[in-house]
Amino acid sequence: MIGQFIDGPLWTFSLAVFVIGVVWRIVTILMAGNRPDLSTPRGSASSGAIRTIFSRSVYERTAATRGRLLQIAGYLFHIGLFALLFFAKPHVDFYAERITGFGWAAMPHWAFILSAELAFLGLLLLWIHRLLSPVTRLLSDLDDHLGTILVFLVMLTGCLALAQSFEALRLIHLLLAELLLIYFPFSKLMHTFTFIMSRGYTGATMGRKGVNA
Partner 1 sequence: MSEQFEQGVEVLRQQIDAKISSYFSSCVHCGLCAEACLFYTETHDPRYTPIYKLEPMRKLWRREHTFWGKLGAIFGLNQPLTEQDFADWKTLVYDSCTLCGRCSMICPVGNDITYMIRKQREGFSVAGYAPDGMKEATVRALKIGSPMGVTFKTLKAALAHVEKDTGLEIPIDKKGADYMTLFSSMEIVNFPEYIESIARIFEAAGISWTVSSKAFEATNSGIQIGNKEAAAELVNRVVVAAEELNVKYVVSPECGHAYTAIRWEGPNLIGRQYPFDVVHILELLEQLKNDGRLQLEGKSVAPMTLHDPCQIVRRGGVVQQPRELLDGVAENFVEMKEHGVMNWCCGGGGGVSANERAEPLRLRVFERKKKQLQETGVNTMVTACANCRIILEEGIEHNEMDTEVISLTELVADHLVDGPK
What amino acid is encoded at 25 in this protein?
R
Is position 40 an interface residue for partner 1 (rule: CB under 8 A)?
yes
Please report, for residues 44, 53, 177, the alpha-carbon distance to residue 56 in angstroms, rounded to integers and kept in the order given. 18, 6, 28
Is position 23 an interface residue for partner 1 (rule: CB under 8 A)?
no
Is position 27 an interface residue for partner 1 (rule: CB under 8 A)?
no
202 vs 29: CA distance, rounded Å: 15
Is position 44 an interface residue for partner 1 (rule: CB under 8 A)?
no
Segment lying near partner 1 (by CB under 8 A), choices 5-13, 37-45, 99-107, 108-116: 37-45
Segment lying near partner 1 (by CB under 8 A), choices 10-18, 87-95, 111-119, 200-208: 200-208
Q: In the complex with partner 1, which residue's Cβ is closer, 173 or 199?
A: 199
Q: Is 40 left (phi over 0), alpha (psi -120 to 50) or beta?
A: beta
82-141: contacts with partner 1 (CB under 8 A): 126, 130, 133-141
Burial of residue 72, with CB atoms counted within 10 A of its CB: 0-12 exposed, 13-18 middle, 19 or more buried: middle
List, in order, residues 6 or more apart from 92 with CB less than 8 Å away: 86, 103, 104, 105, 106
Do residues 44 and 204 touch, judged by C-beta distance below 8 A? Answer: no
Is position 54 an interface residue for partner 1 (rule: CB under 8 A)?
no
Residue numbers of the site for partner 1 (CB under 8 A)? 25, 28-35, 37-40, 42-43, 52-53, 56-57, 60, 62-64, 66-67, 70-71, 74, 126, 130, 133-141, 143-144, 185-186, 188, 190-191, 194-195, 197-203, 205-206, 209-213
